[in-house]
Amino acid sequence: MKLVNVYHVDAFTQDSFAGNPAGVVPDADTLTVQQMQQIANELNLPESAFLMASDHPEADFRIRYFTPTTEINFCGHATVGSTWLLATERGWLEKGRPIVFETNVGLIPVTLDVEDGQLKKVTMTQIAPSVREIELDQAEVARMVGIRPEDLDDRYPMKLASTGGLHLLVPVRTYEAIDRAVPLFPELEALNRKHQITTTHLFTWNGPQGYDVYTRDFAPAIGIPEDPVTGAANGALAGYFVLEGFLEKGSVHHLVVGQGHAIQRPGTLYVTVEMTGETPVIRVGGAAHVTIAGQLRLKAE
């Protein structure tokens, strides 16, 4: 019998049963790709992260991400969850330096924010953001995500954005309209597959009290009907804000983003957008909570 340590970490929250749950397998060197996919399917969480040794001279770990149905190139909340686990249960906090992950999209450094010896949040620097056009019938998109066409906010263009995964950004006038959304998942899945979109990300500047931006995220094409609190998509959204001119260049902007409230898994992301050079720097941070720790029992090969 082969025993594999596995954790369930709720990311972008300080509480169990909130935020976005991630599976974390910190000792995945001996696992095959098939086993990683099977474990992710068994855990049935939005994403699971598998950590292993890296050959990259600047990386501390190689990390791979799997949804229940497929491998993806980058996942923000599973990165936060992995970092929190390493810091609080694997002794990394005492090292006093960032953790650098080698991902399919490049190196992702994650800093540990500590106050009075206690870990308060972790913050990842995502790869440089990009934005591109997409020709879509906006009323059809509204119908697919389950809102009214008049709920769309025409002050902001509907575009694709990325900091590692491709996200369709859908501007909405109010957070109430976002919360009312009832997507047509088969049609949304077909649209996302056609354009190789990882998630469809609804956003508004008209959020609940305490938040600058409020979002909701659907990802049926990768086996996740709704992703509760999304680090990658909100990082891409922040890149879109600055690249499209909605945030002033030459400045540093701090945004508090809320997500997950509509499905009773509220989470908070702390996003920093820095555009003092040629390329925006996007940092996404938050807390986490290790909710379950256990072992998987695999048959010996």
Distance, CA of 53 to CA of 30 (rounded, Å)? 10
Which CATH number among 3.10.310.10, 3.30.379.10, 3.40.50.720, 3.40.50.300 corresponds to the domain 2-125+287-298? 3.10.310.10
pLDDT at 278: 83
Give the mean model confidence (pLDDT) for residues 127-144.
98
Give the mean model confidence (pLDDT) for residues 246-272.
96
Domain boundaries, the chain: 2-125+287-298, 130-285
Claim: this prediction has a pTM higher than 0.95? yes
Q: Does domain 130-285 have CATH number 3.10.310.10?
A: yes
Please give the share of the chain, as a percent, with pLDDT higher than 70: 100
Give the mean model confidence (pLDDT) for residues 40-47.
98
pLDDT at 110: 98
Indicate if the alpha-carbon torsion angle 52, 267, 123, 280 is positive or negative.
positive
Residue 215's nearest CA partner among 184, 246, 260, 162 is: 260
pLDDT at 299: 87
pLDDT at 77: 98
pLDDT at 300: 78
pLDDT-derived band at 52 (thresholds 50, 70, 90) equals: very high
What is the widest separation between alpha-carbon atoms in the chain?
58
- What digits encode the pLDDT tens for the residues 154-195? 999 999 999 999 999 999 999 999 999 999 999 999 999 999
pLDDT-derived band at 21 (thresholds 50, 70, 90) equals: very high
Residue 277's nearest CA partner among 241, 247, 252, 246 is: 252
pLDDT at 276: 81
| Mean of the per-residue pLDDT values of the chain | 97
Comparing 2-125+287-298 with 130-285, is the CATH topology the same? yes
Virtual torsion, Cα 111, 117, 119, 122, nearest 10 deg: -10
Does the annotation count 47 as an active-site position?
A: yes
Q: Out of 47, 102, 189, 226, pick the active-site residue.
A: 47
127 pLDDT higher than 90: yes
Distance, CA of 203 to CA of 178 (rounded, Å)? 8
209 pLDDT higher than 90: yes
Amino acid identity of 134?
I
- φ/ψ region of 81 (left if φ > 0, alpha if ψ in -120 to 50, else beta) reads alpha
Give the mean model confidence (pLDDT) for residues 13-19.
98
